[in-house]
């Protein structure tokens, strides 16, 4: 690879990663982890594959208590998404954060349709989880970004009420935000009215038809996921943190399906979305674990042995930086093929296991640092653990010829260096 190509690629990726929208989505989605983990824990407790446990929580009514954990997280995930995205965008553009969050939430509810519901003898309008859960995530992304930016622009244009210096700062800030907040929300009220005159009736339906449905088709494809996984490792070859670059795209495409699966399972319904972000995190492959163990036990090269001692423990938890920069894997053409193909092979193995009915669809999130086998068991029972063991053998087979070649080359270099030092 030419230096100019690497430099141009690095510039392009850096420009993409530094885009305000990409940075906001990547950071905001990461902040959702506590919420999604609570929902996943609730789903795990409800769907744990052990019949005596299932009977116990059903007979004691604990299942209803655990269901609250999913209902208050997965079923209203769009609200939390609006909050974190508004927070991160306002932080990045240096706008008032609390006011930005409030305006974004109000704007989201303005465009979210309410449904008549009979309560006792009265009919009231309510927000349903249809629009607050996974289906509302795309709307949440669009509205929170737009509302936050509009609030910032109107504020920056000087359209705000200036209070005397004697007024307390908190009160003064509230009055200064009044015109920008009203202006922003008014724009979304107008948008909602205008869309109501079209065939779509409401903003959620419009965005679903124009944006979410096409993206769901793209996000539901294993080949899209495989391509992004391959792309992430390709970036790593040039020293670019691939996961950071692709995380915003991955979460936008695959997170709604994961939330939908979790909500369904917690409600006693089957998970239907095979390709989702929880599947990606759990079955992208134990490649770092396998390579770190290979480095610890197999090399004859002193250099690789030393790296193995440092890398084996982090590798067990999916941390690859000691290997990426120690071997190095970065700008090392010998390891480009196995490094790029390991997640691809792993994902295809797991996908095939689900499609043939061996492993259930993933509906539970685990931290990416969860060691393999354990993570597979938690998200998909013993079948998930077996699939990860198969992935390990596949990754080992993929790496071993390249690993042996690199080991021999390093041994030759070390012997040549020793002979040079001895004057031979």
Q: Which residues contact 358 (CB under 8 A, 6 or more apart)?
A: 383, 387
CA atoms within 13 A on the CB side of 367: 9
Q: Is 338 exposed, middle or buried (0-12, 13-18, 19+ CB in 10 A)?
A: buried
| Torsion on CA atoms 227, 231, 237, 241, rounded to nearest 10 | -130
Helical spans, DSSP H, in 48-128? 51-60, 62-71, 77-93, 97-110
Burial 350-374 (b: 16+ CB within 10 A, else e): bbebbeeeebbbbbbbbeeebebbe
- The answer to whether 387 and 349 are in contact (CB under 8 A) is yes
Rg from Cα positions in the chain: 25
Helical spans, DSSP H, in 317-422? 321-326, 333-355, 374-422
Helices (H) and strands (E) in the chain, counts: 21, 2
Tokens 């005596």 appear where? 52
DSSP-based three-state secondary structure for 104: helix
Q: What is the pLDDT of residue 1?
A: 46
Cα–Cα distances in Å, from 377 out to 98, 218, 382, 420?
Answer: 41, 28, 5, 52
- The answer to whether 87 and 103 are in contact (CB under 8 A) is no
Tokens 């944006």 appear where? 211
Nearest to 383 by CA among 414, 352, 411: 352
DSSP-based three-state secondary structure for 132: helix
Q: Which residues contact 17 (CB under 8 A, 6 or more apart)?
A: 23, 244, 245
Can you give the pLDDT of all 424 residues of the chain as single tens digits?
455 776 777 788 778 888 999 999 999 998 999 999 999 999 999 988 788 998 999 999 999 999 999 999 999 999 999 999 999 999 999 999 999 999 999 999 999 999 988 888 888 999 988 899 998 999 999 999 999 999 999 998 877 777 677 667 777 777 888 899 999 999 999 999 999 999 999 999 999 888 888 887 888 899 999 999 999 998 888 888 888 888 889 999 999 999 999 999 999 899 999 999 999 999 998 999 999 999 999 999 999 999 999 999 999 999 998 999 899 998 899 999 999 999 999 999 999 999 999 999 999 999 888 999 999 999 999 999 999 999 999 999 999 999 999 999 999 998 888 877 666 5
Beta pairing partners, 117: 124
Give the C-alpha separation, 133 to 260, whole Å: 8
pLDDT tens for 222-261 read 999 999 999 999 888 888 888 888 888 999 999 999 999 9
- Number of other residues whose CB lies within 10 A of the CB of residue 245: 21
| Torsion on CA atoms 255, 261, 265, 271, rounded to nearest 10 | -160
Burial 119-152 (b: 16+ CB within 10 A, else e): eeeeeeeeeebebbbbbbbbbbbbbbbbbbbbbb
Nearest to 151 by CA among 113, 104, 115: 104
DSSP-based three-state secondary structure for 67: helix
Dihedrals φ, ψ of 123, to 5°? -105, 125
- Number of other residues whose CB lies within 10 A of the CB of residue 413: 12
Cα–Cα distances in Å, from 362 out to 79, 218, 279, 313, 323?
Answer: 23, 19, 5, 27, 29
pLDDT tens for 51-60 read 899 899 999 9
- Number of other residues whose CB lies within 10 A of the CB of residue 54: 14
Count of positions (residues) in the chain? 424
Q: What is the pLDDT of residue 161?
A: 76
Give the C-alpha separation, 349 to 167, whole Å: 64
Q: Which residues contact 175 (CB under 8 A, 6 or more apart)?
A: 160, 161, 163, 167
């Amino acid at each position: 690879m030419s230096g100019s190509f690497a430099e141009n690629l690095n510039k392009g990726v850096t420009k993409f990663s530094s885009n305000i929208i990409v940075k906001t989505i990547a950071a905001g989605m990461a902040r959702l982890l506590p919420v999604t983990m609570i929902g996943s824990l609730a789903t795990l407790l409800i769907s744990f594959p052990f019949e005596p446990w299932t009977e116990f929580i059903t007979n004691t009514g604990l299942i209803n208590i655990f269901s609250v954990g999913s209902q208050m997280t997965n079923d209203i995930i769009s609200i939390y998404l609006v909050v974190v995205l508004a927070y991160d965008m306002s932080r990045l553009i240096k706008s008032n954060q609390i006011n930005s969050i409030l305006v974004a939430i109000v704007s989201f509810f303005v465009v979210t349709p309410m449904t008549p519901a009979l309560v006792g003898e009265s009919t009231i309008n309510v927000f349903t989880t249809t629009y607050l859960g996974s289906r509302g995530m795309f709307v949440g992304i669009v509205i929170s970004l737009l509302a936050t930016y509009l609030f910032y622009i109107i504020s920056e244009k000087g359209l705000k009420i200036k209070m005397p210096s004697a007024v307390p700062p908190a009160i003064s800030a509230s009055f200064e935000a009044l015109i920008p907040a009203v202006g922003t929300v008014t724009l979304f009220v107008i948008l909602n009215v205008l869309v109501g005159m079209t065939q779509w009736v409401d903003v959620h339906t419009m965005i679903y038809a124009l944006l979410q449905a096409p993206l769901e088709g793209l996000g539901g494809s294993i080949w899209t996921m495989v391509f992004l996984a391959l792309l992430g490792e390709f970036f790593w070859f040039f020293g670019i943190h691939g996961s950071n670059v692709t995380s915003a795209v991955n979460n936008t495409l695959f997170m709604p399906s994961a939330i939908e699966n979790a909500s369904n399972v917690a409600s006693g319904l089957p998970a239907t979305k095979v390709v989702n972000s929880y599947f990606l995190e759990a079955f992208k492959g134990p490649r770092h674990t396998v390579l770190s163990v290979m480095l610890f036990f197999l090399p004859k090269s002193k250099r690789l042995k030393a790296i193995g001692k440092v890398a084996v423990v982090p590798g067990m938890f999916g941390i690859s930086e000691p290997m990426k920069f120690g071997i190095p894997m970065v700008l090392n053409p010998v390891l480009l093929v196995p490094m790029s193909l390991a997640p691809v092979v792993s994902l295809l193995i797991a996908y095939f296991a689900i499609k043939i009915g061996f492993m259930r669809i993933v509906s539970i999130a685990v931290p990416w640092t969860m060691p393999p086998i354990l993570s597979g068991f938690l998200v998909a029972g013993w079948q998930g653990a077996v699939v990860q063991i198969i992935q390990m053998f596949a990754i080992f087979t993929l790496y071993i010829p390249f690993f042996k070649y690199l080991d021999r080359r390093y041994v030759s270099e070390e012997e040549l260096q020793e002979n040079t030092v001895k004057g031979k």
